[in-house]
Amino acid sequence: MSTQVWIDERNQDFRVVALTPEALYYQDMENQAAQDATSQLHDGAMPDSIFGDKATHIPLRRLTRVRIDRNDDNDVELFYREGKEKENDCLSLHDRDTRDSIFSALKQATSSRFSEFVDAYSRPRAAFASLATLTAFGILTWLLAAAAVQVQGGDPVDVSGRRQGIKRMLVWILDFLGPWGVSIVGGILCALAGMVLVSRLRTPQLMVVLQAEPYKPGSALVTAVKYAVLLGAWALVVRAILL
């Protein structure tokens, strides 16, 4: 397999991606630099001589998993080993066709080691992370708004002990925003989490995974346990509000 090259336009920059039989390279470049690099790579130049120190370089032998979501973003998630450490990186692309082409090339390049697995999420499973995030933002907003009321009311605040600087900064922010400001900021975060939740419910994830080991998707039982824990958290919050 010769070097395969892609160029992905990203607003003012371009992301140049190259795949050889040994490694994957990618780096953001300005327009002319990207065009020159692509031309040289097509002419047979070695990627090591084209990509700079800021480039991402992942030897294929170190890859342990490659994953994309067919229904959502244009990312290629890369999991690999760096010595004894497990690392991961996200190759984000603007164009979905480019994403699919790179994934197909990686599938071919790793076909001797990896198998392909498809994991279609159910709606409850797809929604859980966003629902948990929405819950966390809601609880945090409620707690911080209550704290802002106490701070602006002149109640003494203990900032002794460790991380006094962080505590003083938090008190200053709460005093500056007040309960209404905290509620507005928290409401915006909750709205964003809610938008993601609606998106997940409309179009659950369709994960396509390349890896050597047999793939084990999340079970319905695990999802049910997660929702039970989340329901317990809601119950505690409602109880605290009512008391």
One pLDDT digit (tens) per residue for the chain, 243 residues? 588 999 998 777 899 999 999 999 999 998 888 999 999 998 888 998 889 888 999 999 999 999 999 998 899 999 999 888 999 999 999 989 999 999 999 999 999 999 999 999 999 999 999 999 999 999 999 989 988 888 887 766 666 767 777 778 887 888 888 899 999 999 999 999 999 999 999 999 999 999 999 998 888 899 999 999 999 988 988 887 777
Q: Cβ of 219: how many Cβ atoms within 10 Å?
A: 10
**End residue of a domain, out of 65, 88, 120:** 120
Domain of residue 31 covers 4-120
Q: Cβ of 161: how many Cβ atoms within 10 Å?
A: 7
Antiparallel, parallel or unpaired: β 63-69 and 206-211 = antiparallel
**End residue of a domain, out of 97, 120, 143:** 120
Domain match, 229 and 146 both:
yes
Instruction: Please list, in sequence order, all residues whose beta carbon lies within 8 angstroms of the beta carbon of residue 163, skipping any fewer than 6 positions away.
Output: none
pLDDT of residue 159: 62
Domain match, 185 and 96 both:
no
**H/E stretch holding 11:** none
Domain match, 68 and 83 both:
yes
* Overall number of domains in the chain: 2
pTM: 0.81
Domain match, 82 and 185 both:
no
Domain match, 187 and 115 both:
no
Torsion of CA 213, 217, 221, 225, to 10 degrees: 100
Q: Rounded distance, CA 121 to CA 75, Å?
A: 18
Domain match, 166 and 103 both:
no
Within a domain: 152: yes
- The predicted-structure confidence for 112-143, as pLDDT tens digits, reads as follows 999 999 999 999 999 999 999 999 999 999 98
DSSP 94: S
DSSP 217: P
Q: Measuring CA to CA, how many Å separate 213 from each of 25, 50, 83?
A: 25, 34, 20
Domain match, 104 and 131 both:
no
Q: Rounded distance, CA 82 to CA 86, Å?
A: 6
Report the CATH number that the domain containing residue 103 is assigned in CATH: 2.30.29.30
pLDDT of residue 89: 95
Within a domain: 205: no
pLDDT of residue 110: 95
Domain match, 47 and 133 both:
no
pLDDT of residue 241: 76
**End residue of a domain, out of 120, 140, 162:** 120
Q: Cβ of 79: how many Cβ atoms within 10 Å?
A: 18
- The predicted-structure confidence for 77-114, as pLDDT tens digits, reads as follows 999 998 889 999 999 999 899 999 999 999 999 999 99
Q: Cβ of 157: how many Cβ atoms within 10 Å?
A: 14
